[in-house]
Amino acid sequence: MQTFDAFRIHEQRAGIERLQLDELSPGEVTIRVHWSGINYKDALAGTGKGRILRRFPLVGGVDLAGVVVASEDAAFAPGDPVLVTGGGLSETRDGGYAGYARVPAEAVVKLPPSLTLRDAMIIGTAGFAAALAIMQLEHNGLVAGRGPVAVTGATGGVGLLAIDMLARRGHEVVALTRKADSAPLLERIGAREVQVLDEAPPSTRPLETERWAGAIDNVGGALLSWLLRTTRMQGSVAAVGLAGGAGLNVSVMPFILRGVNLLGINSAATRRERRLAVWARIAADLAPRHLQDILTRTVDLAGLRQAFDSIIAGHNTGRTLVRIHDDER
């Protein structure tokens, strides 16, 4: 029986193991995995520094892209290139850090013709979350030309992809970052302005001078509170991440006096119809134009642990791609 390598996470340890197909979580679609990626959530799960997995052991990796080798669902046939982001991967079922995956058909998305499997995993959950945030902001009235749009955590995967997508849509993007040396990269992918944040927390007045037509926040905590207090009348802030803290210290004044909207972005729980719509936009008018700039390194399964540590320590910029099989597609 065929065996393959997998990065498997146990309650007290994690590492590469040899598995067989029948050891994986059940699913209607069996996929030969070509590529995966690393998100902050993956780093937390793989190092045990965050309670991401809901059962043990599981193969890590919340994303995967590969080719169908077998399917019990008529919507997919052997040879189909597909991708999966979220859908319980590396939470309740085995994920993408393995030679093969078995996935429920409802979580599988056919690869858009304009993307390669590699492109899809440079984008991954990070780009999916960025696109979902932009669509939510647009639904709540964000229109290009109405004012600057802030992106915090700008050098992370979500931040860089959000900047690229927003700039493509014609928005004036302001990148907020603590990494001063990243300004050339941020400007190259579309930031009109880069603001370097110092270590001092933003002020805590109930309302600040109006600045932003909208914002995508990847940090949380004090920075999210400040964004809400500085967003313009009827503007919206999409909250994607909480690397800077899960607390939120803000009065109701931005919401009542300015009509500001706080939009929660949960990419993992997105329903299938919405998920397909988001990927359709990613393949069309939200297609990132600077994927090769956003991709900063490629690792194999043996390099996962070092990459996780770098991301947790805040040393990482951009997206890290995980090569599962050597054949490019």
SS (H, E, C) 86-121: CCCECCCECCCCECEEEECHHHCEECCCCCCHHHHH
Q: Is residue 279 part of a domain?
A: no
User: What pLDDT does 98 receive?
Assistant: 98
**Residues 119, 153 contacting (CB under 8 angstroms):** no
The predicted model gives 29-33 an average pLDDT of 98
The predicted model gives 122-129 an average pLDDT of 98
pLDDT band at 1 (very low <50, low <70, confident <90, very high): low
CA distances from 142 to 91, 216, 267, 286 (A): 33, 12, 20, 15
- Residue 205 DSSP class: -
The predicted model gives 157-178 an average pLDDT of 97
pLDDT band at 245 (very low <50, low <70, confident <90, very high): confident
pLDDT digits (tens, 9 = 90+) for 274-289: 999 999 999 999 999 9
96 in the same domain as 226: no
Q: What's the domain count of the chain?
A: 2
Q: Is residue 19 part of a domain?
A: yes
Q: How far apart are the C-alpha atoms of 156 and 167, rounded to whole Å? A: 16
Q: Is residue 51 part of a domain?
A: yes
96 in the same domain as 8: yes
- Judge whether residue 199 has pLDDT over 80: no
Q: Is residue 103 part of a domain?
A: yes
CA distances from 160 to 74, 84, 296, 308 (A): 37, 21, 11, 19
Q: How far apart are the C-alpha atoms of 101 and 253, rounded to whole Å? A: 48
> What is the domain range of residue 213?
125-264
User: What pLDDT does 314 receive?
Assistant: 85
Bridge pairing between strands 3-9 and 58-59: antiparallel
pLDDT band at 295 (very low <50, low <70, confident <90, very high): very high
Q: Is residue 192 part of a domain?
A: yes
Tokens 């991954």, residue located: 124
The predicted model gives 173-199 an average pLDDT of 94
Q: How far apart are the C-alpha atoms of 62 and 42, rounded to whole Å? A: 7
187 in the same domain as 107: no
pLDDT band at 329 (very low <50, low <70, confident <90, very high): low
112 in the same domain as 11: yes
Cα 212 to chain centroid, rounded:
23
Which CATH number belongs to the domain containing residue 150 in this structure? Answer: 3.40.50.720
What percent of the chain is modeled with pLDDT above 70? 97
pLDDT digits (tens, 9 = 90+) for 56-65: 999 999 999 9
48 in the same domain as 117: yes
256 in the same domain as 184: yes
Which CATH number belongs to the domain containing residue 300 in this structure? Answer: 3.90.180.10
pLDDT band at 326 (very low <50, low <70, confident <90, very high): low
Max intra-chain CA distance, the chain: 65
117 in the same domain as 79: yes
Which of 264, 282, 304 finishes a domain?
264
- Judge whether residue 167 has pLDDT over 80: yes
**Residues 198, 221 contacting (CB under 8 angstroms):** no
233 in the same domain as 152: yes
Q: What is the pTM of this model?
A: 0.95
143 in the same domain as 101: no
What percent of the chain is modeled with pLDDT above 90? 91
Q: Is residue 50 part of a domain?
A: yes
Q: How far apart are the C-alpha atoms of 141 and 169, rounded to whole Å? A: 14
170 in the same domain as 46: no
33 in the same domain as 85: yes
Name the E strands within 72-207: 81-85, 100-103, 109-110, 149-151, 173-177, 193-196
Q: Is residue 114 part of a domain?
A: yes
Strand partners, 242: none
The predicted model gives 257-265 an average pLDDT of 98
Which of 264, 280, 306 finishes a domain?
264
Cα 318 to chain centroid, rounded:
11
129 in the same domain as 35: no
Q: Is residue 240 part of a domain?
A: yes
